[in-house]
Amino acid sequence: MSLIHKTAAELGRLVASREASAVEVTQAHLDRIAEVDSKVSAFLHVDAERALEQARTVDERIANGDRLGPLAGVPIAHKDIFTTDDMPTTAGSKILEGWRPPYDATVTRRLREAGLIILGKTNLDEFAMGSSTENSAYGPSHNPWDLSRIPGGSSGGSSAAVASFQAPLSTGTDTGGSIRQPAAVTGIVGMKPTYGGSSRYGLIAFASSLDTPGPFARNVLDAALLQEAFSGHDEFDSTSIDAPVPPVVEAARQGDVAGLRIGVVKEFGGEGYQPGVLARFHETVDLLESLGAKVVEVSCPTFGYALPAYYLIAPSECSSNLARFDAMRYGLRVGDDGTRSAEEVMALTRAAGFGPEVKRRIMLGTYALSSGYYDAYYGQAQKVRTLISRDFEAAFHQVDVLISPTTPTTAFPIGERADDPMAMYLADLCTIPSNLAGNAAISVPCGLADEDGLPVGLQIMAPVLGDDRCYRVGAAVEKAFTDRWGGPLLSKAPAL
Amino acid sequence: MPYDEALERFEPVLGLETHVELGTVSKMFCGCSTTFGAPPNTHVCPICLALPGSLPVANVKAIESTIRIGLALNCSIAEWCRFARKNYFYPDMPKNYQISQYDEPLCTDGYLDVQVEGKTVRVEIERVHLEEDTGKSTHVGGATGRIQGADYSIVDYNRAGIPLVEIVTKPVEGTDRLAPEVAKAYVTELRELLRSLGVSDVRMEEGSLRCDVNVSLMPRGSSTWGTRTETKNVNSLRSVERSVRGEIERQAAILADGGRIIQETRHFHEDTGATTSGRSKEEAQDYRYFPEPDLVPIAPDPAWVATLKAELPELPSVRRARIQEEWGVSDLDMAAMHNAGAIGLVEATVAAGAPAADARKWWMGELARRANESGTALADLPITPGDVAKVTELVASGALNDKLARQVLEGVLAGEGTPEAVVEKRGLRIVNDEGELSAIIDQVLAGNADAADKVRSGKIAAVGALVGGVMKASRGKADAGRARELILEKLGVEG
Ligand SMILES: [Zn+2]
């Protein structure tokens, strides 16, 4: 098996034992990028020289007997919304084109320290607003299963990179489903950790109370190893939780559901869901029962209000978070010809620098926060948010985890929903409640839909700081399906 | 309209908003230094420049200082409160929102008692909250120094993110004609209180204490408040007083003419004492406040708050009452000392060994006069309480008389060194040498035979002229009492 098809855990072991060098592993992935990324467009920026330099350093340290982490020498791609002090960071926006941050995000820094090799930065919907990468100012990424389809979003470049074997691991951010949905539609594993479990420092903010950094990988254990490597309390993020990282790696190795109580969310299913998605989901429920889990139906009646609440809270926060892009200190500057006032330059820059979806959300949020409307919109949405958290709490009294399809449909064709924001927003129907409540949730592959042969994701939701449960159930499902399918789901993907 | 006439027709209602830059080592939400006067844009980092991805972390010391201010102002301290974002675009505010507090301030409902003309006026405090300062814009070119009409503007972000405490009073009614004095006394008292807490250097001229003054008028006999204006840029205690007076006169003139007051921000001009219109509140922006999602709520442990309260220093009003008792000073003298900013100086002079009465006499007499002449504050005179104590000691020991002492003070103020050095350099010691004094007397008697004869013939009162002659001849250094004794002795007259 070629190096690019190996798991991250295996690559880490090979580098540590010096059976393969970090340089060889990195070069193999750089070759793959050179070979296929012109079709996939997963990356916005690749720095081969810098990656090889980092790989040489890791090899030297290992030769010197330094004990590094289990992922030392393993390449990774970062969503281009995490700052990197040696590469540009654009957030998928024209307004930040060419900006080089003077500092590393905590996630970036911790992974560098763990010896991971940064291949480059991946594409995303502008400022993480979208479900398809079509809102990127730099053009869409493509789904490796069908290049005419979306790889999900907003972290679509990261999912596409991992699904097309250009990187064994990548980072993403999940504000309303932006890790789980892309993972589901590209047939890989994507995890949204508990809010506060991974640091937001250096993550360019979309919606501060929802944004959560998380891992992409082709298998559950690799995702757990990556999450563990960047998680934990960060004094630079006030909302970061000062508690031990849940035992995610142990849970991913354990992978068993015997005696576990699993709740099927009653509200997620039925009309609007693709039959092939529901079929795979029900098959998975049967599988879990056959593995010894007790599966019950659980009602979470407020989940139906999650989408509208989300589309008030997230735009409200974004309208404020994106105010800093004003042409004064960094990024694009338009119209500064000596005749215009600062206000005019700000307005021209923002008009030219932001794409239509970002503008739509800034306007939505500005309206929702404005005097006289605050209580009816933002205030009301916060109340719904509290009710959703209560529904989760009540559910987790009955069951250990909740499950649902990750997304109502498989990957849709590029362009299909581009002019219909509401249809686009529905892609996050099942993922949004966990963002509003801040609990952990993962998407793992559960088969291909019959009608289009495209991947379907299973979402597993666990309580706040119950991230290990996601991995435990995810690993059990992965193991059973791999046995049934005779290999990982991605082995069924067409060659690029 | 003249002030007296304005007051005959209208009753003023005051409100004061004071911004205090805290003297913490680091900024409110990052680790940058807060030191004043550094080269522009050197005390900055990704956080206070609002680089994408950066996040604020609240400075616990600043929260502590705010709670201490609240406690000193007799406020209730919130058990749980949040920061809020105040959204508006301005180039000197890097995030284009200010992290502040909105409907959940850290401290509420307190008061500060101030003394005006022997009366105690209770100024009620509505809230004390914590926020961050903005950067500082300088508008270059144009006539006004304001952003309108400027050729270009430059921004220094050193100040951006310095912790700022806002102290807001409730409307102050019933001050009547004393409104300007009450406003000044409030800011004076507040400044002393903040200084005694050690939370800020409270320098109005450097902007670490800034005051916005709200004034409205209601016709006599009415109980409905008028429309208020908010005067900004009031940068000295004297300006606080002048701006209130000026605004009362301006509003009264408009109202008397049947006009109406526009709710607006006005700018105070130090040079003319007048205010000019700023932006109108009627077209004011909607700040779209919402709870700051990047920060966790503040929930001060009640035990910690209790400890902070127990450890508050003696507050200025309490200290003044104690000192007045100890020194046995009248209310009027105490008020005079307070207004002159002399209490601390007198106290330090007493601590350096001077009797309270003497210390008070020099600071409130000769030194106050000289400060007044040179237009400086008493505290800014180039003389220390230790110097003044030394002078009182020299007088007490008989080495100086009051006249010489004044010359010594003059020398110290002129930078001639310590009191001892001035005495030495100027040769100001009282002539105690009997031989020298005797020689001077002989000389004076010889030159004033008429006066000497009068004394000899029993007109003792005429000795004054002879003593005066001795003092003149000795250039003030003779001990006048001893000179008188010696003259009478030499003329064979019983004193
Ligand atoms: Zn800073």
The residue type at A348: L
Contact between B97 and A320 using a beta-carbon 8 Å cutoff: yes
Nearest Cα to B160, choosing from B36, B55, B44?
B44
Per-residue model confidence (pLDDT) at position B285 = 80
Q: What is the pLDDT of residues A255-295, one digit of tens each?
A: 999 999 999 999 998 788 999 999 999 999 999 999 999 99
Nearest Cα to A330, choosing from B437, B215, B52, B36?
B52
Per-residue model confidence (pLDDT) at position B427 = 80
Say how many Å lie between the CA of residue B33 and the centre of ligand 1: 8
Neighbours of B227 (CB within 10 A): 14
Lowest mean pLDDT among A32-46, A276-290, B273-287: B273-287
Q: What is the pLDDT of residues A187-197, one digit of tens each?
A: 999 999 999 99
The answer on pLDDT for A414 being more than 80 is: yes
The residue type at B108: T
User: Which chain A residues touch B55 with a CB distance below 8 Å?
Assistant: 200-201, 236-238
Provide mean pLDDT across the span B325-348. Answer: 88
* pLDDT confidence bin for A253, thresholds 50/70/90: very high
Lowest mean pLDDT among A151-160, A461-470, B68-77, B460-469: B460-469
Q: Where in chain B is the domain with CATH 1.10.10.410?
A: 434-490
Neighbours of B365 (CB within 10 A): 12
Q: What sign for the dihedral angle of Cα A92, A95, A101, A107? A: negative
* pTM score: 0.88
Neighbours of A451 (CB within 10 A): 12
Rounded-to-integer distance, Cα A274 and Cα A451, Å: 9
Which residues does residue A118 pair with via DSSP β-bridges, in sequence order? Answer: A76
Rounded to 5 degrees, φ, ψ at B471 are -60, -40
Interchain contact A99–B (C-beta under 8 A): yes
Interchain contact A283–B (C-beta under 8 A): no
Contact between A326 and B153 using a beta-carbon 8 Å cutoff: no
Catalytic residue positions of A, numbered = 79, 154, 178
Angle, to 10 degrees, between the axis of helix A380-398 and the axis of helix A306-321?
130
Rounded to 5 degrees, φ, ψ at A207 are -130, 105
Rounded to 5 degrees, φ, ψ at B108 are -140, 160
User: Which chain B residues touch A239 with a CB distance below 8 Å?
Assistant: 293-296
Peptide bond into A154 cis (omega under 30): yes
Q: Tokens 């220390």 map to which residue?
A: B384
Q: How far is CA A291 from the centre of its chain?
A: 28
Per-residue model confidence (pLDDT) at position B144 = 67
The answer on pLDDT for B148 being more than 80 is: no
Per-residue model confidence (pLDDT) at position A168 = 98
| Better pLDDT: B479 or A151 | A151
| Nearest CB neighbour to B153, from listed A207, A239, A342 | A342
The answer on pLDDT for A78 being more than 80 is: yes
Q: What is the pLDDT of residues B215-237, one digit of tens each?
A: 999 999 888 899 999 998 798 99
Per-residue model confidence (pLDDT) at position B449 = 86
| Better pLDDT: B101 or B206 | B101
Percent of chain B at pLDDT above 90?
62
Q: What is the pLDDT of residues B124-143, one digit of tens each?
A: 999 999 999 999 998 888 77
> Which top CATH class is B434-490?
mainly alpha
The answer on pLDDT for B145 being more than 80 is: no
User: Which chain B residues touch A171 with a CB distance below 8 Å?
Assistant: none
The answer on pLDDT for B40 being more than 70 is: yes
Q: Quick one: closest CA in B to A81, which residue?
A: B53
Q: Quick one: closest CA in B to A236, which residue?
A: B57
Q: Helix or strand or coil: residue B469? A: helix
Per-residue model confidence (pLDDT) at position B432 = 67
Lowest mean pLDDT among A63-67, A120-124, A398-402: A63-67
Rounded-to-integer distance, Cα B404 and Cα B241, Å: 39
Percent of chain A at pLDDT above 90?
95
| Better pLDDT: B436 or B237 | B237
Highest mean pLDDT range out of A388-402, B209-223, B265-279, B478-492?
A388-402
The residue type at A146: D
Q: Are strands B152-156 and A212-217 parallel, antiparallel or unpaired?
A: unpaired
User: Which chain B residues touch A236 with a CB distance below 8 Å?
Assistant: 55, 57
* pLDDT confidence bin for B336, thresholds 50/70/90: confident
The answer on pLDDT for B6 being more than 80 is: yes
Per-residue model confidence (pLDDT) at position A271 = 85
Provide mean pLDDT across the span B314-324. Answer: 90
Q: What sign for the dihedral angle of Cα B355, B359, B360, B361? A: positive
Q: How many residues does chain B have?
A: 495
The answer on pLDDT for B34 being more than 70 is: yes
Contact between B53 and A105 using a beta-carbon 8 Å cutoff: yes
Contact between B51 and A330 using a beta-carbon 8 Å cutoff: yes
The answer on pLDDT for B385 being more than 70 is: yes
Q: Are strands B119-132 and B163-169 parallel, antiparallel or unpaired?
A: antiparallel
Strand blocks (E) in A62-143: 75-79, 117-122
Say how many Å lie between the CA of residue B3 and the centre of ligand 1: 48
Q: Are strands A212-217 and B84-87 parallel, antiparallel or unpaired?
A: unpaired
Please give the domain boundaries of chain A with CATH numbers for all domains: 3-301+386-492 (3.90.1300.10)
Provide mean pLDDT across the span A311-336. Answer: 97
Interface test with B, best of A324, A367, A385 (most B CBs within 10 A): A324
Contact between B51 and A329 using a beta-carbon 8 Å cutoff: yes
User: Which chain A residues touch B140 with a CB distance below 8 Å?
Assistant: none
ipTM of the prediction: 0.96
The answer on pLDDT for B280 being more than 80 is: no
The answer on pLDDT for B375 being more than 80 is: yes
Say how many Å lie between the CA of residue B233 and the centre of ligand 1: 26
DSSP string, A358-392: HHHHHHHHHHHHSTTTTIIIIIHHHHHHHHHHHHH
Provide mean pLDDT across the span B16-20. Answer: 97
The answer to whether B350 and B388 are in contact (CB under 8 A) is no
Provide mean pLDDT across the span B50-70. Answer: 98
* pLDDT confidence bin for B284, thresholds 50/70/90: low
What the block records as the tokens of B405 is: 């002492």
Q: What is the pLDDT of residues A159-218, one digit of tens each?
A: 999 999 999 999 999 999 999 999 999 999 999 999 999 999 999 999 999 999 999 999
Interchain contact A337–B (C-beta under 8 A): no
Per-residue model confidence (pLDDT) at position B279 = 67
Measuring CA to CA, how many Å separate B30 from each of A100, B44, B135, B248? 21, 9, 14, 42
Rounded-to-integer distance, Cα B82 and Cα A316, Å: 17
Mean of the per-residue pLDDT values for chain A? 97
Nearest chain B Cα distance for residue A339, angstroms: 9
Per-residue model confidence (pLDDT) at position B485 = 85
Rounded-to-integer distance, Cα B430 and Cα B476, Å: 8
Going by the DSSP 8-state scheme, the letter that residue B149 receives in this structure is T
Q: Tokens 């009465």 map to which residue?
A: B357
Per-residue model confidence (pLDDT) at position B429 = 76
Per-residue model confidence (pLDDT) at position B170 = 98
Measuring CA to CA, how many Å separate A308 from each of A273, A286, A322, A358, A369? 19, 32, 21, 17, 15
